[in-house]
Amino acid sequence: MTPQEINVDTLVIGAGPTGLGAAKRLQQLNNVSWLIVDSNQTPGGLASTDITPEGFLFDVGGHVIFSHYKYFDDCLNEALPKSDDWYEHQRVSYVRYQGLWVPYPFQNNIAVLPKEEQVKCLSDLLDAALEARVRPATDKPKNFDEWNIRNVGQRLNEIFMRPYNFKVWAVPTSRMNSTWVGERVAAPNVKLLTTNVIRNKVAGNWGPNATFKFPAHGGTGGIWIAVADTIANEKKRFGNHGTVIKVDADSKKVYLKDGTVVKYGSLVSTMAVDFLAESMGDAKLQQMCKPLYYSSTNVIGVGIRGERPERIGDKCWLYFVEDNCPFYRATIFSNYSPFNQPNKNVKLPTKQLANGKKPASFEPQAGPYWSIMLEVSESSYKPVNHETLLADSIQGLINTELLKPNDEIVSTYVRRFDHGYPTPSLERDGALNEIQPYLRQKDILSRGRFGSWKYEVGNQDHSFMLGVEAVDNIISGGIELTLSYPDFVNTRANTERRLTSKTS
């Protein structure tokens, strides 16, 4: 049987936020032939949502919606246009440190630490500020650890920045560059911080996600299912019909699992670029990708019976620096939407008590219910025992007082993502400066969280716009602001461009 061959001007691989951004722009332009393919039947990629058999929703990591782009806002409002499609939240976030809940960001709120610790932190902060005044502008930090010392001082680096970031990235901060930092890490205002310490005052909310949105139904994945539904069916091939088994860059052909061959003019690939190199069978590109480093992410979900405890309150997400728990972040996922867990009338049996003991009865009982989602990083620097990970995580919830020993657990969820975080390693920028031009010469634009390998533009809005701007570059030579100028898009909202405009 002769394989079916399809000819398109632009092929998009992957239906996560980046691929869907590219598809939305291609559909809007309506002057080129195109197709989007994905091996998963359900769109969303690393921004999808799983549902446990008991009916608890868990995202594949901590995702919320906040935006630097009106175009992104327009697309989401088109997909989910009703006011009751969304919940809006003020971020309530803390860092757990020595039995205290320190408001986030930690380095801006040392006023809640013990007095002796305040003195040490302030002393080193002042030293760092004085050193910065006489340092030449050309003297840049050699790595992220040095950036931290220069910006928060030795003591804060020792007790928080260094251990916490290792827990997140699963790589020493000395092995990371500092070009990615931008709006991701708060650099303290020493004068304001000193004033707050004297007045025993907590700092105000910081950062672009101080307020955020979350979908009422379907978790984060529900957003991308809704966006995909706005794309013409004949332009989408998902599941087995969209699974890529080979990319032939020389002949500009992509071979799909169902036997279809797609001939393209330009390719927007949102596959991890190291996977793309393998699918191309390109030894030179594979060698270029070797310096790229990543960590894996383990997501653990716990569904609990009972009213939401007062100790949980309206908390959103929480950070953990110490080794009394394996997770670096806990999200109170039930606080985002009442539909992230079963209705209180649903009867579920208790699987276990938090302390591991059997419940008094395994008979199904009604709720109400609430839930916690945890993230544990993993790498060759930081291995994880998968056999004990769930038990260790539940014990960590008890150690950090998020759960009581006798809390009834009715649902658990564990999933590992091999490519979790694209690490901004010391070697990253040099590798990307070779990889991206090499692929561009072959009319391939590698974009997205692991396609671009730039964590600083790895949020959902960034990822979406990486796809939009890639299409504009292909069609009209438009500048890819998000890829090329992360600091610009992160400090200035792109308010001019709207979905209704067909020009770039």
For residue 439, tell me if it sits in a domain.
yes
Q: Single out the residue of 314, 273, 346, 402 nearest to residue 54, CA to CA.
A: 346
Q: For residue 53, what pLDDT is reported?
A: 98
291: pLDDT strictly greater than 60: yes
For residue 10, tell me if it sits in a domain.
yes
Question: Are the CB atoms for 64 and 212 separated by under 8 Å?
Answer: yes
Strands 49-51 and 86-90: unpaired
Q: Are residues 110 and 190 in the same domain?
A: yes
User: Where residue 96 falls among pLDDT bands split at 50, 70, 90?
Assistant: very high
Strands 317-320 and 329-331: antiparallel
- Name the domain boundary from 420, 437, 457: 420
408-412, 429-433, 434-438, 497-501: range with lowest mean pLDDT: 497-501
Q: How far apart are CA 78 and CA 87, in angstroms?
A: 16
CATH classification of the domain holding 334: 3.90.660.20
3-class SS string, 41-60: CCCCHHHCEEECCCCCEEEC
Contacts of 84 (CB under 8 A, 6+ apart): 216
Question: Are the CB atoms for 82 and 75 separated by under 8 Å?
Answer: no
- Name the domain boundary from 420, 446, 477: 420
The mean pLDDT of 79-86, rounded to a whole number, is: 94
Q: Are residues 119 and 228 in the same domain?
A: no
The mean pLDDT of 452-481, rounded to a whole number, is: 95
Report the predicted TM-score, pTM, of the whole model to 2 decimal places: 0.92
Q: Are residues 119 and 130 in the same domain?
A: yes
**For residue 3, with 0-12 CB atoms within 10 Å meaning exposed, 13-18 middle and 19 or more buried, which class applies?**
exposed
27-69 tens-digit pLDDT = 999 889 999 999 999 999 999 999 999 999 999 877 777 788 9
Q: For residue 495, what pLDDT is reported?
A: 47
Question: Are the CB atoms for 205 and 91 separated by under 8 Å?
Answer: yes
The share of the chain scoring above pLDDT 90, in percent, equals 78
Contacts of 481 (CB under 8 A, 6+ apart): 469, 488, 489, 494
Q: For residue 386, what pLDDT is reported?
A: 98
143: pLDDT strictly greater than 70: yes
Number of domains in the chain: 3
Q: Are residues 477 and 372 in the same domain?
A: no
The mean pLDDT of 437-463, rounded to a whole number, is: 96
Q: For residue 395, what pLDDT is reported?
A: 98
Q: Are residues 263 and 304 in the same domain?
A: no
Question: Are the CB atoms for 383 and 171 separated by under 8 Å?
Answer: no
Q: Are residues 412 and 449 in the same domain?
A: no
Q: Are residues 261 and 305 in the same domain?
A: no
For residue 91, tell me if it sits in a domain.
no
Q: Are residues 298 and 405 in the same domain?
A: yes
Task: List, in sequence order, every residue forming a beta bridge with 301; answer none if it has no partner.
Answer: 373, 413
- Name the domain boundary from 164, 199, 234: 199
Taking CA atoms, 75 is separated from 27, 44, 71, 387, 495, in Å, by 12, 15, 6, 42, 14
Taking CA atoms, 299 is separated from 95, 234, 302, 312, 378, in Å, by 19, 34, 10, 20, 11
The mean pLDDT of 304-317, rounded to a whole number, is: 92
* CB hemisphere CA count around 14 (13 angstroms): 30
Task: List, in sequence order, every residue forming a beta bridge with 306; answer none if it has no partner.
Answer: none
**Two tokens at 1?**
């049987």
363-381 tens-digit pLDDT = 999 999 999 999 999 999 9
404: pLDDT strictly greater than 90: yes
Q: How far apart are CA 282 and CA 248, in angstroms?
A: 9
User: Where residue 500 falls among pLDDT bands split at 50, 70, 90?
Assistant: low
Q: Are residues 13 and 63 in the same domain?
A: yes
For residue 230, tell me if it sits in a domain.
yes
For residue 499, tell me if it sits in a domain.
no
For residue 93, tell me if it sits in a domain.
no
Which phi and psi (to 5°) does residue 462 adopt? -60, -50
Q: Are residues 73 and 161 in the same domain?
A: no
Q: Are residues 335 and 390 in the same domain?
A: yes
Q: For residue 181, what pLDDT is reported?
A: 82
The mean pLDDT of 245-255, rounded to a whole number, is: 98
Q: For residue 449, what pLDDT is reported?
A: 95
Q: How far apart are CA 343 and CA 308, in angstroms?
A: 14
Q: Are residues 45 and 157 in the same domain?
A: no
**For residue 207, with 0-12 CB atoms within 10 Å meaning exposed, 13-18 middle and 19 or more buried, which class applies?**
middle
For residue 457, tell me if it sits in a domain.
yes
Taking CA atoms, 55 is separated from 19, 189, 305, 463, in Å, by 29, 45, 13, 29
The three-class DSSP label of residue 246 is strand
Q: Which domain holds residue 386?
A: 294-420
Tell me the residue type at 395: Q
Which phi and psi (to 5°) does residue 47 adopt? -115, 30
**Two tokens at 286?**
């594979």
For residue 205, tell me if it sits in a domain.
no
